[in-house]
């Protein structure tokens, strides 16, 4: 695989490293020369030991066009869709767009899907948790059906975002980034939308269908510098009528990234980083000893696993991937519905037949 990565920030470095660890060539591109310099002299060497001279760095205006297998969009969320739509014209085999796919206005999201389909370019969205080993095990257990009828799903991604700013020492605070602005895809609803995505993933694995109702309460921080939700609490209901809860926040410390699925016969718990460097799945199954499965991994492993998944999906049925664009669009509809529900104080229904557009959302 030959990669071009747009955005030499935190994720651009992770994906560059993962690609090099797989032996794949990388061109890394940024509009900001300071970001390229920081990558070479600071971020990459401090994270991975030393700079890798094989990574070619380009200012955006000088970046090569065409000839790539995979183009990764690792820029702020409000630039994802325009950059992904432009990348389609380069005819890569695939595009990997970071999460969240876009802002809650859903601008251009359906057009991206339509254009990618017409061009035959596979698009993935970087919800890497669902392709991690622990989530794969949990989803396989759910598909096995031993849990009985699922009564509810609970997912929480509650994490004070100090860690994100520690990884971005050049930012003075959320006001210097998209993170401090919900309309740009920041705040808890966008930044921790891994939780909504995981909820949807487990609901599909359990045969509960897609999310069709969202009732949400968001808590905003708004002053002359920022405007973001620090808490996004969602009640969700699926096509099969099963209800559950999903909480995302940027205030909880120590962090809790956790899911629980309660079936008629048994329960399943998924936990990310419960101990440092360990993900875990616990399952109480009928007639069997409870399963405790621990997965030791490093942060770089997450992205190696994600790129390996993309390569394997391209060799098979890319549209069936849990990180296929369709899943990322579904998650954006839930995030957009959460904002609309919070604004109106009402329940919001999602009609998928209208595409990933504001028209798909109806206030009850």
Ligand X SMILES: NC(=O)c1ccc[n+]([C@@H]2O[C@H](COP(=O)([O-])OP(=O)(O)OC[C@H]3O[C@@H](n4cnc5c(N)ncnc54)[C@H](O)[C@@H]3O)[C@@H](O)[C@H]2O)c1
Nearest to 267 by CA among 157, 150, 155, 156: 150
What is the rounded (10 degree) CA torsion for 306, 307, 311, 317? Answer: 30
101 lies in the site for ligand X, by CB under 6 A = no
H or E, element range at 259: strand 256-263
279 lies in the site for ligand X, by CB under 6 A = no
103 lies in the site for ligand X, by CB under 6 A = no
62 vs 224, beta carbon nearer ligand X: 62
H or E, element range at 123: strand 122-125
Work out which of 1, 103, 110, 128 binds ligand X, going by CB under 6 A. Answer: 128
Cβ neighbour number for residue 144 with a 10 Å cutoff: 11
The distance of closest approach from Cβ of residue 153 to ligand X in the complex, given in angstroms and rounded to an integer, is 21
The distance of closest approach from Cβ of residue 243 to ligand X in the complex, given in angstroms and rounded to an integer, is 28
Residue nearest to ligand X (CB): 9
* Greatest CA separation for the chain: 62
Nearest to 325 by CA among 116, 32, 67, 25: 116
The distance of closest approach from Cβ of residue 43 to ligand X in the complex, given in angstroms and rounded to an integer, is 8
Sheet order of strands, 243-249 included? 291-296, 278-284, 267-275, 256-263, 150-158, 243-249, 227-238, 211-222, 348-350, 361-363
CA gap 196, 297 in Å, rounded: 23
What is the rounded (10 degree) CA torsion for 229, 223, 98, 243? Answer: 10
If DSSP codes are grouped into helix, strand and coil, which group holds residue 270?
Answer: strand
32 lies in the site for ligand X, by CB under 6 A = yes
98 lies in the site for ligand X, by CB under 6 A = yes
If DSSP codes are grouped into helix, strand and coil, which group holds residue 251?
Answer: coil
31 lies in the site for ligand X, by CB under 6 A = yes
The distance of closest approach from Cβ of residue 81 to ligand X in the complex, given in angstroms and rounded to an integer, is 12
187 vs 263, beta carbon nearer ligand X: 187
Site string for ligand X, 186-215 (x = CB under 6 A): -----x------------------------
Work out which of 35, 153, 226, 246 binds ligand X, going by CB under 6 A. Answer: 35
Stretch that binds ligand X, among 74-82, 195-203, 264-272, 334-342 (CB under 6 A): 74-82
Work out which of 30, 78, 156, 229 binds ligand X, going by CB under 6 A. Answer: 30
Residues in region 148-177 near ligand X by CB under 6 A? 168, 177
126 vs 174, beta carbon nearer ligand X: 126
Judging by beta carbons within 10 Å of its beta carbon (0-12, 13-18, 19+), is residue 210 exposed, middle or buried? Answer: middle
79 lies in the site for ligand X, by CB under 6 A = yes
Judge contact between 100 and 77, C-beta under 8 A.
yes
78 lies in the site for ligand X, by CB under 6 A = no
CA gap 177, 166 in Å, rounded: 14
6 vs 356, beta carbon nearer ligand X: 6
99 vs 237, beta carbon nearer ligand X: 99
Q: Which tokens is 62 given? A: 């000088």
77 lies in the site for ligand X, by CB under 6 A = yes
The distance of closest approach from Cβ of residue 332 to ligand X in the complex, given in angstroms and rounded to an integer, is 12
The size of the interface with ligand X (CB under 6 A), counted in residues, is 26
Name the site residues for ligand X (rule: CB under 6 A): 6-12, 29-32, 35, 60, 74-77, 79, 83, 98-99, 126, 128, 168, 177, 191
């Amino acid at each position: 695989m030959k990669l071009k990565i747009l955005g030499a920030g935190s994720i651009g470095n992770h994906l560059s490293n993962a690609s090099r660890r797989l032996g794949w060539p990388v061109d890394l591109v940024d509009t900001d020369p300071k970001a390229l310099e920081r990558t070479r002299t600071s971020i990459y060497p401090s994270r991975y030991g030393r700079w890798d001279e094989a990574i070619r760095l380009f200012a955006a205006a000088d970046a090569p066009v065409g000839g790539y297998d995979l183009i990764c969009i690792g820029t702020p969320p409000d630039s994802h869709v325009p950059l992904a739509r432009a990348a389609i014209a380069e005819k890569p085999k695939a595009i990997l767009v970071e999460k969240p796919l876009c802002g809650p206005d859903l601008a251009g999201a359906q057009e991206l899907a339509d254009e990618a389909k017409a061009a035959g370019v596979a698009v993935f969205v970087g919800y890497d948790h669902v392709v991690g080993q622990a989530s794969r095990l949990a989803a396989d257990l759910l598909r096995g059906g031993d849990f009985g009828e699922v009564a509810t799903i609970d997912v929480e991604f509650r994490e004070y975002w100090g860690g994100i700013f520690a990884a971005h020492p050049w930012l003075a605070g959320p006001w210097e980034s998209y993170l401090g602005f919900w309309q740009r895809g920041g705040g808890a609803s966008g930044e921790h939308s891994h939780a909504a995505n995981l909820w949807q993933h487990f609901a599909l694995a359990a045969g509960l269908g897609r999310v069709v109702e969202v009732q949400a309460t968001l808590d905003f921080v708004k002053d002359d510098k920022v405007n973001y939700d620090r808490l996004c609490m969602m009640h969700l209901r699926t096509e099969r009528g099963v209800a559950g809860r999903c909480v995302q926040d940027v205030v909880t410390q120590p962090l809790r990234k956790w899911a629980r699925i309660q079936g008629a016969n048994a329960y399943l718990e998924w936990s990310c980083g419960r101990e440092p460097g360990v993900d875990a799945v616990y399952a109480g199954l009928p007639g069997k000893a409870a399963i405790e499965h621990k997965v030791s991994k490093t942060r770089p492993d997450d992205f190696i696993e994600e790129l390996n998944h993309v390569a394997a999906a391209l060799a098979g049925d890319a549209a069936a991937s849990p990180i296929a664009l369709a899943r990322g669009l579904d998650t954006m509809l839930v995030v957009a519905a959460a904002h609309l529900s919070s604004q109106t104080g009402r329940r919001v229904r999602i009609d998928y037949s209208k595409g990933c557009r504001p028209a798909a959302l109806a206030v009850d």
